Amino acid sequence: MGIRAIKIAIDADGSPLGYISWHNHHYNKSKIRILKPSIKNEKFGVQRMEMLAIYFAISDNLRAFKKLKRRKKTIIVRSDSKSTIELLNRKIEIRDDILKRIYNSIIRILKKISCNMVFYHLDRTKNTAGKILEHLRKDTNNFQIKTLLY
């Protein structure tokens, strides 16, 4: 009997407002990070945030990946940003220097893990990390509205 493969799905999402989020479905854990927001209407700004979300999703879960004893590990990183997934899968050329640096950092991290890494596009309504950021945005807006009223 062979060793069963383990599949770990991680959803990642980034917001131009400076928030990134990931959700690890295998461990049912999530994290929100606050980064410096991208400049409004900045070229590649949204893609940079999406790519950083994927970078932190992988790096924050690196220890958990290494602890798994199974030989066959498949880590599926999912994002609702089709262009970011195409960049990571090398279907389109990376034309921005900052995106190239983030991509190279992701590749360096992946070399530390013995696994198959799959970058997958999913529908925005199914992205758990995106839902986390949406709830955060709504809570922040409600807080700001209440603050203005009082």
pLDDT (0 to 100) of residue 86: 93
Q: Encoding tokens for residue 71?
A: 């030989």
Q: Encoding tokens for residue 141?
A: 């807006």
DSSP string for 46-90: HHHHHHHHHHHHHHHTHHHHHH---S-EEEEEEES-HHHHHHHTT
State the Cα–Cα distance between residues 103 and 15, nearest whole angstrom: 18
Domains and CATH numbers, the chain: 6-149 (3.30.420.10)
Taking 70 as the threshold, does the pLDDT of residue 124 lie above it?
Answer: yes
pLDDT mean over 119-128: 85
Q: Which amino acid is at 46?
A: V
Which pTM does this prediction carry? 0.80
State the Cα–Cα distance between residues 21 and 3, nearest whole angstrom: 32
Tens digit of each residue's pLDDT (9 = 90 or more) over 71-94: 677 888 888 889 889 999 999 999
